[in-house]
């Protein structure tokens, strides 16, 4: 099965703006007129980057903190509808903003993403590490992370800020005429290109008074290590959040997967490609809601979940679905600890450019497609996927996702959460 996930995030302000992120490599940071990012795709080598395997203690601490933020973000946006968010995309945007902020504003930005008291240089190094290695972990999975800053030609960014975002975030920086209608198309073309057309636009117009639009886009395209047979997909009943009866396209397969039964939910791990990237599906037990389940799950629970799992013969039924989400983030980011950045009288972005700037709008667009189609079956890296083999007498279990569930997409090496979502039906 092939799984596509893309996310674009944008921050807009009368003086400062942030938008799409996509995992690309900077070609020429000194020439803003060129296309300065390229899509990151896996190499032909199966070797993995040693730098990614040997994160420093400080970097691993930041990953854990970011995952705390990831679940807080998900819980803030979760309601009765299907949702998908990319906490990593928001974290990259906030990281760039933190480098342009000072004083209380910088402290609040770091607090909002769970990194209060963290040395910003450690944060920058981690995000640089992820950018350099995300594409090298699995040659059958495309992971694209890109950053971009469109600057009003009437303003000049501070050289140190430009140096940091180009070196550590591989951000493309362009000076543009925000009063020219063609600029909107130019920015949206960047967004579409770096999400493979899944998110064709991020803005409707540019504000001539705005200083900048900062953007981060993440694109994920993975092939199931164990694919679903399209011939077995059938229309079946799905009970929505309010127990309403819906019809969904249900995919079927019986195979060996890591599986766990917890007091409030069941969990199964579905690997992509060589097993480094995977989806974890969390299904509440009968009579339990997503809210009840998530109240029992924190970042530590997720990071240690696989150690509690065993390989079982799983009768797996999973809906085929597409989810699109537009999320206003001003209120959420304020609630998580960074209200000052949205206040014109309190925001301090003095390391960004000369002047008094604030974030007027922050939003994320995200989309995920899950189907049974795949490009090819990949070899399994047992050492990564099968961390706890347990007995060889595999237990037969059922995992029937016919009611609302939560899913995450992450990598097995650092534990970084790329996407978190819930499926509550097609309504």
Q: Do 284 and 184 fall within a single domain?
A: no
Q: Do 192 and 259 fall within a single domain?
A: no
Q: Do 153 and 298 fall within a single domain?
A: no
Q: Please provide residue 61's backbone torsions phi and psi, each rounded to the nearest 5 degrees.
A: -60, -40
- Residue 231 contacts by C-beta under 8 Å, 6 or more apart in sequence? none
Among 165-179, 189-203, 274-288, the minimum mean pLDDT is found in 189-203
pLDDT of residue 58: 92
Structural domain that includes position 149: 2-223+323-369
pLDDT at 291 over 80: yes
Domain count, the chain: 2
pLDDT at 280 over 60: yes
| pLDDT interval class at 341 (50, 70, 90) | very high
Among 171-175, 213-217, 228-232, 395-399, the minimum mean pLDDT is found in 213-217
pLDDT at 248 over 60: yes
pLDDT of residue 374: 26
Q: Do 251 and 397 fall within a single domain?
A: yes
Q: What is the dihedral of CA 334, 335, 336, 342, to 10 degrees?
A: 0
The alpha helices in 169-229, defined as continuous H runs, are 182-193
Q: Do 243 and 124 fall within a single domain?
A: no
Q: Do 181 and 242 fall within a single domain?
A: no
pLDDT at 31 over 70: no
Q: Do 236 and 159 fall within a single domain?
A: no
pLDDT at 19 over 60: no
52-90 in b/e form (b: 16+ CB < 10 A) is: beebeeebebbbbbbbbbbbbbbebbbebbbbbbbbbbb
pLDDT of residue 30: 35
**Which among 89, 136, 92 is positioned nearest to 276, based on CA atoms?**
136
- pTM, entire model: 0.86
Stretch 317-346: mean pLDDT, rounded?
92
pLDDT at 2 over 60: no
CA–CA distance, 288 with 105 (Å, rounded to integer):
40
pLDDT of residue 17: 41
Q: Do 388 and 258 fall within a single domain?
A: yes
Q: Select from 369, 387, 402 the last residue of a domain.
A: 369
Q: Do 126 and 274 fall within a single domain?
A: no
Strands (E), 153-285: 172-176, 212-223, 234-239, 245-261, 265-271, 277-284
Residue 305 CB: number of other CB atoms within 10 A?
18
Q: Do 179 and 116 fall within a single domain?
A: yes
CA–CA distance, 300 with 284 (Å, rounded to integer):
19
Averaged confidence pLDDT in the chain = 82
pLDDT at 286 over 70: yes
Q: Do 299 and 327 fall within a single domain?
A: no
Strands (E), 298-350: 310-328
CA–CA distance, 261 with 367 (Å, rounded to integer):
29
pLDDT at 202 over 90: no
Q: Do 95 and 117 fall within a single domain?
A: yes
Handedness of CA 135, 141, 143, 144 (dihedral sign): positive
CA–CA distance, 349 with 248 (Å, rounded to integer):
48
Q: Which residue has the higher pLDDT, 90 or 4?
A: 90
Stretch 407-425: mean pLDDT, rounded?
93
- CATH number reported for the structural domain that contains residue 297 in this entry: 2.30.39.10
pLDDT of residue 393: 62
Handedness of CA 75, 224, 323, 283 (dihedral sign): negative
Per-residue pLDDT tens for 405-415?
999 999 988 89
How much of the chain, in percent, has pLDDT values that exceed 90?
Answer: 54
Among 72-81, 133-142, 224-233, the minimum mean pLDDT is found in 133-142
Contact 318, 401 (CB under 8 A): yes
Token pair 């979502």: residue: 421
């Amino acid at each position: 099965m092939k799984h596509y996930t893309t996310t674009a995030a944008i921050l807009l302000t009368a003086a400062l703006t942030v938008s799409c992120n996509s995992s690309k490599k900077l070609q020429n940071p000194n020439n803003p007129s060129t296309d300065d990012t390229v899509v990151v795709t896996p190499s032909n080598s199966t070797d993995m980057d040693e730098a990614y395997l040997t994160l420093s203690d400080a970097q691993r601490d930041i990953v854990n903190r970011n995952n705390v933020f990831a679940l807080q973000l998900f819980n803030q946006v979760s309601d009765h509808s299907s949702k998908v968010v990319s906490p990593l995309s928001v974290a990259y945007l906030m990281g760039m903003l933190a480098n342009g902020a000072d004083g209380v504003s910088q402290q609040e930005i770091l607090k909002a993403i769970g990194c209060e008291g963290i040395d910003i240089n450690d944060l920058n190094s981690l995000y640089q590490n992820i950018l350099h290695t995300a594409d090298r972990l699995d040659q059958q999975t495309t992971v694209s992370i890109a950053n971009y800053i469109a600057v009003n030609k009437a303003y000049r960014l501070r050289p140190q800020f430009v140096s940091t975002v180009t070196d550590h975030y591989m951000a493309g920086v362009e000076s543009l005429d925000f009063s020219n209608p063609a600029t909107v198309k130019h920015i949206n073309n960047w967004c579409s290109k770096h999400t493979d057309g899944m998110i064709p636009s991020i803005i409707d117009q540019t504000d001539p008074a705005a200083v900048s639009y900062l953007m981060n886009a993440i694109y994920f395209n993975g092939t199931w290590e164990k694919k679903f047979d399209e011939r077995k997909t059938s229309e079946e009943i799905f009970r929505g959040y309010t127990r309403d009866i819906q019809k969904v396209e249900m995919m079927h397969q019986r195979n060996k997967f890591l599986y766990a039964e917890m007091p409030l939910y069941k969990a199964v791990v579905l690997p992509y490609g060589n097993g480094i990237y995977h989806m974890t599906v969390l299904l509440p037990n009968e009579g339990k809601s997503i809210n009840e389940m998530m109240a029992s799950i924190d970042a530590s629970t997720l990071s240690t979940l696989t150690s509690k799992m065993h390989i079982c013969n799983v009768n797996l039924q999973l809906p085929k679905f597409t989810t699109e989400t537009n999320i206003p983030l001003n209120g959420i980011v304020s609630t998580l600890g960074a209200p000052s950045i949205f206040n014109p009288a309190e925001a301090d972005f003095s390391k960004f450019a000369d002047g008094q700037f604030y974030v007027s709008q922050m939003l994320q667009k995200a989309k995920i497609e899950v189907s049974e189609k795949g490009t090819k079956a990949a070899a399994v890296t047992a050492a990564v996927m099968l961390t706890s083999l347990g007995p060889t007498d595999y237990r037969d279990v059922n995992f029937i996702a016919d009611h609302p569930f939560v899913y995450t997409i992450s990598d097995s090496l650092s534990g970084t959460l790329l996407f978190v979502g819930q499926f509550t039906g097609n309504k």
